Structures are given as structure tokens and as C-alpha cells.
Structure 1
Amino acid sequence: MSENANIWFLDNFSMMKVLKPHELMELEKMTVMADVMKNQAVYFPQDEARTIYFLKKGKVKISKASDTGKEIILSILGPGEMFGELVLAGEESREDLAVATEDVIICKVNQERFKELMAKNPALNFAITKFIGLRIKKIQTRLENLIFKTSEQRITWFLKDFTTEFGRQLSGFPNQWHVDMKLTHKDIGKLTATSRQMVTTVLRDLETKGIIKYDRSRIYILDITQIS
């Protein structure tokens, strides 16, 4: 990838808009682009934390294992998002697992050099701190949902949240959305702490009621106001 392409890519991250042109050039010199194939890990738990990642293409799953060894999916990330950011808050070794759910392109930056850039740009420092706070809040909301919502409520909440984050509204129909969802019912079950069978039941019920339509790769929400 050319230098200009790298700069264009980095400048498309909202938090990088605060960088001056020469700072963007400096960041570009720190970066290494890498392809990660579907189902390949970006990093494992207990790996030394030395790098932050920016996702250019594809989706990455962040998960942990419970005490019983069951996978708990914390988040699904899409293009334009940063991950591995807790290294900036003092994380020394990874506590989660990052896996590509499809072929992805990532941008890797050494955390020490990025911290130096943050120290020179208070606006970037503030943007990153705000980002980390919002990411933690989102994970807390997901965990609270696991505790206080019913299985059906967790699935419908996830459906609405995922669609509004990664999908788009249909032109001229503000309540209709569609999203490419390369997640199996088993994956959704892991994200919502429910069984694959429950996910299938809830989606079929929503389809029967005329609220959604779905196939293996895409979900259409016909009236998002009907999903709580």
C-alpha cells in the first residue's frame, strides 16, 4: 500500500481528524498494514500487549472464555474501529481474544510511539480517552443486558444495536434497515448468552410478525420501531 493510501486510510478514522498534516505523516511512518484471514487470530489471551490496531476492512470478534471454558463474545468490530486500545491504559498482556470473522486488513501501531504522539497532541489524547470510555461503557451495557434482560429481549436488543451500527436505512423508508450479517445463529447466541435454538425461534417469530426478513447473509428490519 502506498504512503498516500496509508494516510488516506488513517485520516478516515474519526479520532484522527484532530491530527495536523505533519502529525498524520508521522503516524503513517509508525504503521504496518497486515492481512488477516478469516478465523485467524490477531492476538491471543496472555500475549504481550505492545500494539494497537485499526481495522480497515472486514470484521473482528473480541471475546473471552468463561471459567467453564465457554466463549463470551464482548463485541464485533467493523471498519474504522480501533481495538487493543487497553494497552494505552496500562494493559501489559492481553485479556481477550481477537479473531477475524472474515478476511480483514488491519493497521498496526506500536503503543509507545502512539503514546508519544498523544502526548504532543492534547486533542488526540482526549479523543482516545473518550473512545476508551465509550468502549468500556458499551461492554458494560452488554453485560448488564445479560444479567437483567430475558433471552428474547437480549436477542432483539442485539439485533437493533447491530443493525443500527453496521447497517443502513433504506432510502425513503426511515424505519426500514438492512445489514449484512455474517454471523451464525450460534454466534448471536454467544453474543447474547442464549442458545442457538432460542435465536432461531426469536428470529422466526419476528419474521412471522412481519417485523424482519432474513437469510444466511442479510437481515432486513421492516419496522425498527417494533424492536425494543
Structure 2
Amino acid sequence: MTFEAKYWYLHNHQLFDELSRNHLNELTYLSHFRTGRKGDVITLPQEEKRIFTIKVGILKLVELDNDGDEQLIEILRPGDLFGQFTLTPHASNQYAVVLSDYVTFCSFLVSDFEQIMRQNPALGIRYTKLIGLRFRQLQNRYANLMFKDVRTRLRLFLKEWADKDAKPGQPNVLTNYLSHKDISRMICSNRQTVTELFNEFRLAGMLEYDRSQIRITDPALLNV
């Protein structure tokens, strides 16, 4: 990727779009861009603390529990931050997996990013607001897990998915990059229950799905 392409990606990112040209140039020199394909695993090394952000593609952030089972933490989309994004230690058993056919992402050493923030107090404020928004979204998700039944949790998950991923002109068509097992982990259920609910929604004429797409045929499904 050319320096200019890296520069304009960072310039258009919600976190960096108000930086001066000189500081953006510095940030571009410090950035490290990588690509990956579906199924690739992106490790988050502890010895070299980095902040990552996605340019193109979709990832899932996962963590291994004490039994060695994979726990799905979050779905990450273009512009999202991951890795050492809180500037505090993260679990050493976390990693990301590429869900889309192709992904491009960039990263910065935490030490370099902290230096840029010290030079730009406004960047630090925006960063804090962005992290605060991220935590509020996670809090809302956990509240839904605690106080909503599994059917409502699945409908809320589909609504959030459509809000974030649906393409212009196709508001009710979703690229199906998640397995039922992935979805069950996101809504704290199990694969069998998710499959049963999908079949129930399909029989009710509310959606159709296959390996490549989910089509919401009755918008009332998302009215939750």
C-alpha cells in the first residue's frame, strides 16, 4: 500500500480526521498495514503492545476461557479499534479471526500512539469519547443478556447487525458471515436454540437465510 493511500485512510478515520497534516504524516510513518483472508488468525502479542484499526473487512474478537473453549467477545468492523485500545493490559488469550473474504487493518505501537496524543490533547479527548461509547455499547449488550429472553436477544442482535451492515438500497439483506454457533455465543445461548429460532422465523415468513445471506422479509422482526 502506498504512503498516500495510508495517509488518506487515516485522514478519513473518525479518530484522526482533525489532525494537522504534519501529525498525520507522522502517524502514517508510524503505522503498519497488513492484509488477511477469511479464516486467518490475528494474534495480539503481549510483548509488543499495539492498537489496531480495521480499514476493510470484518473480524471477530475471541478469547479462550479456562476450559480452552472459544468465547466470542465482539464483531469488529471498519473503523473499529481493537488490541491494546484501552492502553491497559488485555487478556493474553485474546485473538481476532477474519470473517470476511478479505481484510486490511493497520496498527500502531502503544508507545508511539501515546506520544502522538501527548502532542495533540484534542486527539486524547476524542479517543476517550470513542472508548466511552464503545463501553456503553458493551454495557447495553450485557444488560440485554441479563434482562431479555433469548428470542428478544436474537431479534435485537439481528437489528444491530442490519443497522451496521445493511447496504444502501438493501436495508434488509445481510451478508451471512456468522455461524449459528457464533450467533449463539453473542446472545449467550446455544447453537441448537438459535437454529430453532431461525427456522421458526422462516416458517413465520419473517426471514429467509442460506450460507451467504440473511434476508429479512418482514421488517417487524426488527421492531424491538
When the two structures are superposed, what TM-score results if normalisation uses the length of structure 2? 0.88
**Residue-by-residue CA offset, 1:110-132 (whole Å, 9 max, x unaligned):** 11111111112122111111111
When the two structures are superposed, what TM-score results if normalisation uses the length of structure 1? 0.87
Pairs within 5 Å for 1:6-85: 6-44=6-44, 47-48=46-47, 50-85=49-84
Report how many residues are paired. Answer: 222
Task: Tell whether the 8 Å contact from 1:158 to 1:192 is kept in structure 2 after alignment.
Answer: yes
- Letter of the aligned partner of 2:41 in structure 1? A
- Letter of the aligned partner of 2:4 in structure 1? N
Task: Tell whether the 8 Å contact from 1:64 to 1:96 is kept in structure 2 after alignment.
Answer: yes
**Which of these residues, 196, 202, 215, is aligned with residue 220 of structure 1?**
215
CA distance in 1, matches of 2:168, 2:38: 28
Q: CA RMSD in A?
A: 2.2
Tell me: CA distance 1:30–1:216, structure 2 relative to 1, closer, same or farther (3 Å): same
Partner of 2:187: 192
Tell me: CA distance 1:37–1:169, structure 2 relative to 1, closer, same or farther (3 Å): closer
CA distance in 2, matches of 1:152, 1:25: 49
Is 1:183 equivalent to 2:181 in the alignment?
no
Task: Tell whether the 8 Å contact from 2:63 to 2:70 is kept in structure 1 after alignment.
Answer: yes
SS of equivalent to 2:54: strand
Q: 1:53 offset after TM fit, Å? A: 0.6
Gaps of 5+ in 2: none
Tell me: CA distance 1:220–1:170, structure 2 relative to 1, closer, same or farther (3 Å): farther
Q: 1:25 offset after TM fit, Å? A: 0.8
Tell me: CA distance 1:156–1:210, structure 2 relative to 1, closer, same or farther (3 Å): same
Partner of 1:205: 200
Identify which range, 65-74 or 130-139, moves more after superposition.
65-74
SS of equivalent to 1:139: helix
**Residue-by-residue CA offset, 1:29-87 (whole Å, 9 max, x unaligned):** 0011112333332225x733610111112211112234444332121111222212435
Gaps of 5+ in 1: none
Tell me: CA distance 1:23–1:223, structure 2 relative to 1, closer, same or farther (3 Å): farther
Task: Tell whether the 8 Å contact from 1:49 to 1:94 is kept in structure 2 after alignment.
Answer: no
SS of equivalent to 2:106: strand
Tell me: CA distance 1:69–1:92, structure 2 relative to 1, closer, same or farther (3 Å): closer
Partner of 2:139: 140
Runs of 4+ in structure 1 displaced over 4 angstroms? none
Q: 1:98 offset after TM fit, Å? A: 2.0
**Residue-by-residue CA offset, 1:82-109 (whole Å, 9 max, x unaligned):** 2124352x22664633222243211111
CA distance in 1, matches of 2:91, 2:182: 26
- Letter of the aligned partner of 2:150 in structure 1? S
Q: Give aligned-pair identity as a percent.
A: 30
Tell me: CA distance 1:7–1:211, structure 2 relative to 1, closer, same or farther (3 Å): same
Tell me: CA distance 1:93–1:195, structure 2 relative to 1, closer, same or farther (3 Å): closer
Q: 1:182 offset after TM fit, Å? A: 0.8
Partner of 1:115: 114
- Letter of the aligned partner of 1:156 in structure 2? R
Tell me: CA distance 1:192–1:202, structure 2 relative to 1, closer, same or farther (3 Å): same
